[in-house]
């Protein structure tokens, strides 16, 4: 008479062995992983986004370069030279750099010292226009979309200095007394809000400090080109291949 095979025992033994193998593998796999912090995930996402932005910028640069090359090719095919195209680009560069007279709609801002009577205990400096005041107004107009700005007829560039010189202000190497006349070409309504809206710097100068500040909108403004010399002492252009 044959003995009955203990199937339950065999199944139990095999299950036990299989369980040990699974636990060992899981333990081994977990040891291969390191903890990842939220900061690491965030930094990784930032790196990915930065790489995407760089790729997008490079694609745009390639596209613009290809368009420029095509312009030159077309000019050569049609005219046999590129002198006209180069002259046009030079004029565009001058326009962008502020080396061309420009015209358009915009705003005129006239600011001068307060006419209020100075009383004992008052700080006389609060009644005067300072270079910082003019700079802040110019910056607010630029933020408001001004495409060209002048102060007392002097074109304001990125290299233009606006600094106090006693009771006057020096800009582009020339000195001017009050009143200071700021002209800005752009959307007249937006530029007006950039100076007169409650909470703006122009609003504070007029309604809190009592300085005399008047604005007027214009459909036609003429802002002259920059006539001075631009001397870079520290910034130098990077040559091709550097």
Same domain, 190 and 215: yes
pLDDT cut 90: percent of the chain above it: 35
Q: How far is CA 148 from CA 86, 166, 171, in A?
A: 24, 27, 16
Same domain, 132 and 182: yes
Same domain, 111 and 207: yes
Same domain, 107 and 195: yes
pLDDT tens digits, residue range 154-192? Answer: 999 888 888 887 788 999 889 999 999 999 999 999 999
What's the chain's average pLDDT?
79
Q: Are 94 and 226 in contact (CB under 8 A)?
A: no
What pLDDT shows up at residue 193?
A: 96
Same domain, 43 and 92: yes
Same domain, 88 and 153: no
* 34 within domain boundaries: no
Residue in the block written with tokens 């495409």: 147
Residue 155 β-bridge partners: 150
State the total domains in the chain: 2
* Selected residue with higher pLDDT from 138 and 54: 138
Same domain, 61 and 90: yes
What pLDDT shows up at residue 206?
A: 92
Same domain, 110 and 80: no
Q: What CATH number does the domain containing 219 carry?
A: 3.30.70.1880
Task: Check whether 70 has a pLDDT greater than 80.
Answer: no
* 173 within domain boundaries: yes
> Helix 38-79 crosses helix 83-97 at what angle (to 10 degrees)?
140
pTM higher than 0.85: no
Task: Check whether 22 has a pLDDT greater than 70.
Answer: no
Query: Rounded to an integer, what distance in angstroms lies between the CA atom of residue 221 and that of residue 218?
Result: 7
Task: Check whether 145 has a pLDDT greater than 90.
Answer: yes
Query: Rounded to an integer, what distance in angstroms lies between the CA atom of residue 159 and that of residue 52?
Result: 33
**H or E element in which residue 31 lies:** helix 7-31
* Selected residue with higher pLDDT from 166 and 142: 142
* 28 within domain boundaries: no
Least confident of 15-19, 86-90, 112-116, 177-181: 15-19
Same domain, 141 and 71: no
* 20 within domain boundaries: no
Same domain, 150 and 185: yes
Q: Are 102 and 185 in contact (CB under 8 A)?
A: yes
What pLDDT shows up at residue 29?
A: 47
* 191 within domain boundaries: yes
What pLDDT shows up at residue 75?
A: 67
Q: Are 148 and 98 in contact (CB under 8 A)?
A: yes
* 26 within domain boundaries: no
Nearest to 144 by CA among 98, 203, 185: 185
Nearest to 152 by CA among 121, 115, 178, 124: 178
Same domain, 92 and 169: no
* 18 within domain boundaries: no
Same domain, 64 and 112: no
Nearest to 169 by CA among 159, 158, 184, 180: 180
* 171 within domain boundaries: yes
Nearest to 118 by CA among 107, 130, 126, 110: 126
Q: Give the domain range for residue 204.
A: 101-116+123-223
Residue 65 β-bridge partners: none
């Amino acid at each position: 008479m044959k003995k009955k095979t203990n199937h339950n025992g065999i199944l139990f033994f095999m299950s036990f062995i299989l369980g040990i193998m699974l636990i060992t593998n899981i333990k081994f796999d977990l040891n291969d992983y390191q903890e990842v912090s939220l900061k690491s995930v965030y930094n990784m996402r930032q790196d990915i986004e930065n790489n995407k932005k760089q790729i997008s910028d490079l694609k745009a640069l390639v596209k613009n370069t290809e368009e420029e090359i095509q312009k030159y090719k077309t000019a050569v095919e049609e005219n046999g030279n590129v002198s006209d195209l180069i002259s046009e680009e030079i004029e565009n560069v001058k326009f962008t750099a502020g080396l061309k007279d420009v015209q358009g709609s915009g705003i005129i801002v006239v600011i001068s010292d307060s006419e209020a009577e100075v009383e004992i205990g008052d700080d006389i400096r609060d009644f005067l226009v300072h270079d910082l005041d003019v700079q802040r107004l110019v910056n607010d107009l630029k933020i408001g979309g001004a495409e060209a700005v002048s102060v007392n007829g002097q074109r304001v560039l990125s290299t233009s200095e606006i600094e106090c010189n006693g009771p006057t202000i020096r800009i582009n190497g020339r000195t001017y007394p009050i009143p200071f006349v700021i002209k800005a070409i752009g959307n007249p309504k937006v530029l007006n809000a950039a100076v007169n809206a409650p909470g703006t710097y122009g609003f504070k100068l007029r309604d809190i400090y009592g300085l005399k500040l008047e604005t007027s909108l214009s459909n036609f403004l003429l802002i002259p080109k920059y006539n001075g010399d631009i001397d870079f002492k520290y910034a130098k252009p990077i040559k091709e291949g550097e």
